Structure 1
Amino acid sequence: MSATAIPAEEIHPSLWRASQLARGRGRTVDTGYPALSVELPGGGWPVGVLIDLLVQQPGVGEMRLLQPALGLLANGPIALVQPPHIPDSLGLGYIGLSPDRLLQINTPNSSDALWSAEQILRAGSCSALLLWAQHTQSSSLRRLHLAAQSSETLFIMVRPLTAAQDSSPALLRLALRPSAEGLMVDIVKRRGPTRAEPLSISLQPTPVLFSRHARLSRRPFTEVIPRSLPAEVVA
């Protein structure tokens, strides 16, 4: 058999041909959006790695994009670290995310938020972790990616769109922009060929999920106070 006929992943799991999507080495979770899943190695969100969602501003639809996958995960907690606004549990409940599964963690500064996220990943106690962050140093990203690799957690970092120009150890990076139908998704980085055209993802209308004026919920979120760290009081 010639060398060109040998699949790259048989030589080493980390290898893939530039013209083809890499085969997923680990577990993936279906995105719930066929047009997106077919463009991702393994056919879904990779578990146990760092995933970057790059947004113009928080709340453009990232929770609705992730909702089908979050609903497929085991009944472990879903941690929301440093969410941009007060989560509206009524809206989240409308799309099938039970407030009983959600842990909201607010910290005084970004360093404490990164520390909290790392401890969650190393503990492996949550099915999913969503971390909203601004400027993050490469060393911190590498620590989080390494911690994620030791877990079975779906780990998503939501960062500003301007971070797309920065390097990142994330195996998957998507840029999200709002559109009339839902989202335009640009694949910034994946284990496979470059895709020049954005994907159009239709999102069904839902109530506001993050709002500065969110209504009080009949069932409040579980507030987690990181050990030895002062936590911000959620009104």
Structure 2
Amino acid sequence: MLAPEHIHPSLWRATQLARSATRGVATGYAALSAQLPGGGWPAGALIELLLPHAGIGEIRLLQPAVAQLDRDHPIALVQPPHMPHVACWQGWRLNPSQLLWVAPERPMDALWAAEQILKHGSCGALLCWLPRVRVESLRRLHLAAQAAETLCFVMRPATAAQQASPAPLRLALSPAPGGLSVQILKRRGPAVAQPLLLVFESSDHASVDRHPSTQPALRRDAPSLVS
């Protein structure tokens, strides 16, 4: 009798991690990568990061993966809650000229921009902040992500954990000493009972992940490209 994973890559046993047709992008955290199908962040899929508030370390979490991307491919930031901190990106060995900063006038424009970025397929990663979004819109983003090789991260409020989502990978993040506590809410594999503690490398540079009250508000007339 054939094992489910040999019948179709989308099938897997409930007691084991799903197999991925392609290897994921390394997260930079061995404990986290070991818990993800493909051993890393899946390209071509919607990944949800659920936060109690912006600026708890979500960019630091993604920095190791983003640093691996081809420098010819932009990193799109759609509707970030704060102005990107260029000096901080440089301190993390990231190229600020890669940043494509999209500051839409309306929330619905953010969804449209994110979908177009995925359909175009020219960006190495998409980081999109969606405080409010309908499941139908998330489904459209996931379908668009599946047709591309872009790393697609959507940041949503922690309260969204109780809502349905088409995202195959959902992580709930919360602050922890020196890093983040990461609870895997959904993955293609068995449930994970205990959260993971991820500790960030120390840095002498100011952090871009700050509480909203300590960071200037995003200007609506901001340029699209930060350099």
TM-score (norm 2): 0.91
Amino acid at match of 1:192: G
Matches within 5 A, 1:1-235: 3=1, 6-75=2-71, 76-206=73-203, 207-210=206-209, 232-234=220-222
Given that residues 92 and 99 in structure 1 are in contact (C-alpha distance below 8 angstroms), is that contact kept between their aligned partners in structure 2?
yes
Amino acid at match of 1:118: E
Q: Which moved more, 1:16-25 or 1:201-210?
A: 201-210
Please give the alpha-carbon distance, in whole angstroms, between the structure 1 residues aligned to 2:148 and 2:35. Answer: 24
Tell me the alpha carbon deviations over residues 5-45 of structure 1, each in whole angstroms, 9 at most, x when there is no partner: x3211111110000000011334100010000000000000
Aligned to 1:227: none
SS in 1 for 2:182: strand
SS in 1 for 2:188: coil
Given that residues 85 and 210 in structure 1 are in contact (C-alpha distance below 8 angstroms), is that contact kept between their aligned partners in structure 2?
no
Same amino acid, percent of matched pairs:
52
Q: How far apart are residue 129 of structure 1 and its match?
A: 0.3
Amino acid at match of 1:48: G
Please give the alpha-carbon distance, in whole angstroms, between the structure 2 residues aligned to 1:66 and 1:210. Answer: 11
Tell me the alpha carbon deviations over residues 162-191 of structure 1, each in whole angstroms, 9 at most, x when there is no partner: 001111110100000001121000000000
Amino acid at match of 2:111: L
Amino acid at match of 2:134: Q
Q: How far apart are residue 214 of structure 1 and its match?
A: 5.8
Number of aligned residues: 216
Please give the alpha-carbon distance, in whole angstroms, between the structure 2 residues aligned to 1:27 and 1:18. Answer: 20
Please give the alpha-carbon distance, in whole angstroms, between the structure 1 residues aligned to 2:126 and 2:64. Answer: 15
Gaps of 5+ in 1: 216-230
Please give the alpha-carbon distance, in whole angstroms, between the structure 1 residues aligned to 2:100 and 2:70. Answer: 15
Please give the alpha-carbon distance, in whole angstroms, between the structure 1 residues aligned to 2:155 and 2:24. Answer: 19
Structure exhibiting the larger radius of gyration computed from Cα positions: 1
Given that residues 122 and 150 in structure 1 are in contact (C-alpha distance below 8 angstroms), is that contact kept between their aligned partners in structure 2?
yes
TM-score (norm 1): 0.88
Amino acid at match of 1:61: G
Please give the alpha-carbon distance, in whole angstroms, between the structure 2 residues aligned to 1:93 and 1:116. Answer: 26
Gaps of 5+ in 2: none
Amino acid at match of 2:142: H
Amino acid at match of 1:182: G
Please give the alpha-carbon distance, in whole angstroms, between the structure 2 residues aligned to 1:149 and 1:26. Answer: 13
Q: How far apart are residue 210 of structure 1 and its match?
A: 4.7
Tell me the alpha carbon deviations over residues 70-105 of structure 1, each in whole angstroms, 9 at most, x when there is no partner: 011112000000001111111111111211110100
